Structure 1
């Protein structure tokens, strides 16, 4: 029987484990699996929580987004398992190849012995004794004949053991290959589900833009949510040593990217209508570190309707900054953060425009133009000018 070769259909994910390990050199496959399992559990709870809510437009969008992220993590875990299965298949194939080489070696040896014995005939032991010229060497010849007989038995036993072991390994390999193909097909189906969810989300956004009343409904939800935020930005007695008001116009940007929606009265190309934007929207890739523009106290960190995953920082002196649409939050309520500290990773939660950071500045509850607080970026175009031109 020829060697069983591993099907190459799964080689497209062969570098997955190395890629994951490259992101964290100290992580083992077990660490990666534990992390992915924890993320899947968290996303499942988030999906179920959103599913419980009323089917508002923003919640419909967010449900699709969470479903997309959940499928992505499930695929990553399944592909990690496939990678380990593929490594086991390669080890089994190596063992099969080794046993087949051993079997071939035993067969060649036994073939030579059989040919030699056939040529000597059935009286081979007697001929061996008679061929000794010296009577003193008869005992040695007899011992040699007995040793050869025992060695032949050993080779035959080893040959039979090798054949049996090879049969078991081939059966194990074939069963593992079948399991691998089933798992590979499951991954392909997950990829199809993921593509379908992404397609549904894109179609939903297109439908929102085509149907003005649905888009207006989403914006109404955003406006209502913005007023609800007033409860979190009321005057407080938090008074740090540094007064953020003295740094107006000098604050670092929370992320670097083009401003796709400026502050103030903005015309929506989707509907031709105008809305009042209480903050700015900065387009950045998902997963971009979001940094605190100034030191402060975390007043809110969690999900907020129409804002997605939101962080509110209290900087004292009745100044607050808001960071919305994040994918991951890095702080909790009550934390004290420093200027430049990563408080979240950007994302597209509850966003109508894809991955971005929505950023607000509030002073005495009233929304302020963030451009009046952020500094002009050196060595590049003035993003503030670009934002003003978009009005």
Structure 2
């Protein structure tokens, strides 16, 4: 397996994770209304942050393992370097010994050559003496009879010549012994040189093996450091992505909170759901009894049939359907526990879970929907507590007119919602 392939296999998962998270980032224009409607976007942010958290933890573990492996390799390299230094010292000593052995062998060779030369000279000299002695011969009757010298002189010469021959012979024997000793010493030194050369060869091989091992360890250390660098780079990218996602999530929460607060901040500025005539006020008595339990918890607006019913503010539809006593009903969550309830509609045009904007049509009025109770019914609640909707509407959209409405419904005056 090549190093490049290994590095691709190493980096690819981190790149896929980061690219996947970047692809999953939603565009701002596609963001849904905050609060309940924005939860899917927030959940995606949280899911991406969780994935990055896991990836960061995984890379931290890998960094820790890489650090331990790097430390172990550095220790091994230090041990190998120590052995290499010792081998180098040992090799230098053996090479010095080898040079000494070679020098000593050369000296022995010179000694052998000199001894052989001296031996040859002694042998030639002895041959000359022997030849002369042979020519002179032993001292006998004839030598004494025909010699000009006297017998004592002849005997003295003969004895002296013999001693010279014996001396030369002893010299040759000593040279032979010296040559034998020199040859033995040379052979011993040659053997030591051979052994030393074998040691040097093995040491060189060991040193080469250690050098190769050091090279392999260095390559592995470089690979580990490269992996560590890639882990660190991926970790930095993940931490950066996590920080960006966290900032985006924080901005989203702030935007959600500010937008949710917009419902409160727009109190007294909103338009009513329909244009029509106010026929029942908030808190007005219902039926013949006027106790607190039978007071109106919302308002009723009389309007023409087929009129569009609009959302008073942006939010998320949390209920659509028929409700006994209310008819067709739509409940919209505006955030911060504020909801609006619109009932007695002829037709509903939105669905559960749908996000709506301020002024968006959510249904229409009709005569069948108001068969048992006239007008469109509307409530605003906070934490299930009913609030007076008229306080949330703009004064520009409401004007008072005199009317002959039935008693108990409107009271003295009526209000026309423009």
Normalising TM by the smaller chain, what interval? 0.3 to 0.5
Structure number with higher relative contact order (C-alpha < 8 Å, ≥ 6 residues apart): 2
Please tell me whether Structure 1 or Structure 2 has the larger radius of gyration of its CA atoms: 2
Structure 1 or 2: larger helix share? 2
- The alignment's TM-score, normalised by the length of structure 2, stands at 0.36
